[in-house]
C-alpha cells in the first residue's frame, strides 16, 4: 500500500475518514447527480431549501459519493460550506473555495472539487425548476 501521508492534508483525511452529511435526505427538494467518466467518480447531492424571512436558505445538505478519498472529502466539505447559508451564497461556491477549505488537494484530484461545486449548483437548479 502506498503511503498517503503527505499527499493529502489533515483536513482531507479527516473528511474522508469522518465524512459529514453523508447519506440520503428523504425530504430533499433539490437533488443532482454528477460524474466524471474518466475517473468514475459519481456524486449525488441532496438539498433541503426553506424560506426564512423571505430568503431561501439551505437548511440541510447531504451527499452520496462513489469515488476516491478526494471525491468523498470534497463532497463532505461542500455540504458543510453551504448548510445554513442563503441559496445565493451557495450558488457562489467554487471548486477553489472547496480546495482552500480542505487545505489543498493534489493537482490530479482538482476535478473532484469541480464535481462537488457543480453538484451543488445543479441541485439548486433542480430546486428552482421544481418551484
Active site residues: 39, 112
Q: Which residues are 31's β-sheet partners?
A: 46
Q: Where do we find the cell 433542480?
A: 126
DSSP 52-103: ETTEEEEEEEEEEEES-HHHHHHHHHHHHHHTTSBHHHHTT--HHHHHHHTT
- Burial letters 40-52, b for 16+ CB under 10 A, else e: ebbbbbbbbbeee
Nearest-angstrom CA–CA distance, 80 and 43: 15
Amino acid at each position: 500500500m502506498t503511503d498517503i501521508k503527505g499527499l493529502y492534508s489533515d483536513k482531507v483525511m479527516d473528511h474522508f475518514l469522518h465524512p459529514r452529511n453523508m447519506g440520503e435526505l428523504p425530504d430533499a427538494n433539490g437533488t443532482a447527480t454528477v460524474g466524471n467518466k474518466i475517473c468514475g467518480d459519481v456524486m449525488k447531492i441532496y438539498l433541503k431549501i426553506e424560506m426564512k424571512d423571505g430568503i431561501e436558505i439551505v437548511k440541510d445538505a447531504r451527499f452520496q459519493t462513489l469515488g476516491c478519498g478526494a471525491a468523498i472529502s470534497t463532497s463532505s466539505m461542500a455540504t458543510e460550506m453551504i448548510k445554513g447559508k442563503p441559496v445565493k451564497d451557495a450558488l457562489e461556491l467554487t471548486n477553489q473555495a472547496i480546495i482552500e477549505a480542505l487545505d489543498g488537494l493534489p493537482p490530479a484530484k482538482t476535478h473532484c472539487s469541480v464535481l462537488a461545486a457543480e453538484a451543488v449548483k445543479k441541485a439548486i437548479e433542480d430546486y428552482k425548476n421544481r418551484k
